[in-house]
Structure formats: structure tokens, C-alpha cells
Amino acid sequence: MAFSSPATCSSTIGIGLIGLGFMGRTHAAAYAAAPRARLVAVYDQNPDALAAMTTANNIDTGSAAAGAALAKARQTQSVEALLTDPEVQLVSITTPTDSHIPLAFAALEAGKHVLVEKPVSLDPVLIRSLDAYAAQRGLLAMPAHCMRFWPSWVWMCDAIRSARLGSPLRARFQRMGQAPRWSQSFYLDDARSGGAAIDLHIHDADFVRHAFGEPTSVRATGTRRHIVTEYGFAGGLRVTAEGAWVDDTDFAFVMSAVIECERGTIDFRLGRDRELVVRVGGVEESVQVDAGTGYDGEVRALLEAIASGATTAPVSMLDAAKTQELLDRELAALTPA
């Protein structure tokens, strides 16, 4: 099928959104808050998706802002209609994982930049092929690895890389939440979603690579529903990350990080009055970070890259492939707890 080319970038960038579930609304809210973005067209195979304005059971998605943006967007009747829209320059793909690769290839073929929700694919070979095709087309293809843009985690990564508190000695990450109550035919099917060991734990696995580098060893215990991984690094550094879906319907989402360094400790806990705390010599030090979420940060970074004519995305598909390869190493090493 033939596609038209996108309009030349102006001060605002037209957005097409494919998939209007939990993450689709999360992306919509981020675009609604981004000055450069204009949500132009949306598509979901469920015609009632726009009316299903439900509240997320883990993290607030900003559904009011998403709803306002979605109400102004054109509801297209097919993926092809969205991809042939000349006002669409960037396509966000927030559908089930096993549909990401064909949709992303179609968007790139249509001349659109793409932001693909994580995990891009359970197959790192396919992610690498997507990276190569985007480069061939001269377009940006970016995985939605939001923790690289979460303001407190941006600060933590910089502190680790710059050895602001000295070299890291130990680190532990924990990410646990209720098993998804939406799209359960997808999320609870390990063959499609990868389970919590991939769909949820991917955030910490990717951040570990991003902040500390490639692990030299991996040990993992548990199941795809609840995984605990220890990453080893040259010099003796050990980093542990735990990811789980729990059955308790009253369980409050947990996202935390503790990084012990030579001269102090970095302590992040989502929802605490002061989410990011740094302690040096037993004394808490003030930490200033930007407002917003990683979803805001990732879309703004990509929008800026498009507007500036950048030839590489802020996070590459090659990075996504390497993170998936690390997750595959964990699953290969997985033993019962």
C-alpha cells in the first residue's frame, strides 16, 4: 500500500496514537502537556475504546488531560488511515507487544517517526532489524524506556556515572504492583507479554544497563511473575532488582531504589513526601529535580530531537535490543526461589 510523506516539522509536531488502553492514555496525557505536540489522530481496534475512560490501578495516568487531548483528535477507522494522514509526523504505538514490530515497520514505511511502548518485542533480533530500517529511512525510532527520563532517576544516573558520592558499592531496586486488571488476555499470557519478569522488570533492567553499564554476570531466582535478579560487575559491584505482580487487590504500587556509595546513600521511594533523599554522614541533603514523570520526559526528548533534525533518537532501538538480550539472560538463568 502507498503512503504519503509527513509534513515538514514546524513549531508543533502532529501525533498519531495507535492503541487507547492504559498506556495509550498515558502517552496522550504526556503529549497534552508537551508544548511541541498536537494529538492529531487516534486509532484503536475497539470502537468503544475512547469512551472507556477508566482509572489506572497503579499509577495515575493523568486521564483528565488525556481525555481533553483525545476529544480533539480525529478517530480514524484504520491504521492505514492514520498513517496516510499528512498531519501526522510521529506515531506512538501502545498496543500489545506482539503487534509492535509490524506496526512500527508500517509507520516507518509511511515516513513517520515512531515511539514504541516497552517492551518493543520479546525478540531482540526483530528490534535490531527495526533499528536498521529506521536508519535506512532516515527516521527516528525510539523505545519508551521511561525510567531514563524520570526526573529523580535522571539525577540518580548522573550521580552514579559522575561518582558524585564516590563509587557505588551496592544497589537494590524494587518494582511491585497489582497484576494488571486490564487486557488480561494479553498481560497474563507469558508468551505474549513475557510476564512481570519482562513487562514490569524491564524498567529496572534497562536502568541498570543505562546507569552501571553491561553486567558481567547474572543470577536470577523466582518466576516470570516474581523475579529477583543479581547483576555482577567488574570490581565487585552487586546490583539487585526485584519485579513482581501481586494478587492482593489492595496492594499499593512500589517503586524504590537504594544506592549505597562510598560517601553517601541515594534513597528513592515513589509516593513519599520527599521521594528522593540523599544521606551523607547521616545527614540528609537537599536534592532538586524537575517536575513531571518519565512519560513527560521521554516524549519531550523525542519531540525536541525531531524538531532539531537529529539523526539519532534519545534512546535507540539498539539499546532496547540490548536490554531485551539482558532479560533473556535472566530468564535463561532463572531458578526457583
Residues 226-235 as b/e (b if ≥16 CB within 10 A, e otherwise) read bbbbbbebee
- Cα 267–Cα 270–Cα 273 angle in degrees, nearest 5: 80
Together in a domain, 182 and 248: yes
Q: pLDDT value at position 5?
A: 36
CA dist 38 and 47 (Å) reads: 22
Together in a domain, 54 and 69: yes
Together in a domain, 50 and 155: no
Q: pLDDT value at position 1?
A: 34
Peptide bond just before 119 cis, omega within 30 deg: yes
- CATH code of the domain containing 155: 3.30.360.10
Strand partners, 229: 220, 241
In a domain, 71, yes or no: yes
Count of H-run helices and E-run strands, the chain: 12, 15
Together in a domain, 167 and 263: yes
How many independent structural domains does the chain possess?
A: 2
- CATH code of the domain containing 54: 3.40.50.720
By three-state DSSP, how is residue 121 classified? Answer: coil
| Strand 90-93 with 113-117, pairing | parallel
- Residue 116 backbone dihedrals phi, psi, to 5 degrees: -115, 125
In a domain, 240, yes or no: yes
Q: pLDDT value at position 181?
A: 83
In a domain, 327, yes or no: no
In a domain, 5, yes or no: no
pLDDT tens for 60-117 read 455 677 777 888 899 999 999 999 999 999 999 999 999 999 999 999 999 999 999 9
Q: pLDDT value at position 55?
A: 39
Q: pLDDT value at position 62?
A: 55
The answer to which of 44-53, 135-144, 164-173, 176-185 has the lowest mean pLDDT is: 44-53
In a domain, 161, yes or no: yes
Is residue 4 scored above 50 in pLDDT?
A: no
In a domain, 1, yes or no: no
Above pLDDT 70, what percent of the chain?
93
In a domain, 51, yes or no: yes
Sign of the four-CA dihedral 248, 146, 50, 77: negative
Domain that holds residue 286: 151-290
Together in a domain, 309 and 185: no
Q: What is the mean pLDDT of residues 137-154?
A: 98
Together in a domain, 35 and 66: yes
pLDDT tens for 196-229 read 999 999 999 999 999 999 999 999 999 999 999 9
Together in a domain, 30 and 71: yes
Together in a domain, 75 and 155: no
pLDDT tens for 276-334 read 999 999 899 889 999 999 999 999 999 999 999 999 999 999 999 999 999 999 999 99
Together in a domain, 221 and 95: no
Check: CB of residue 79 under 8 Å from CB of residue 93. Answer: no
Q: pLDDT value at position 226?
A: 97
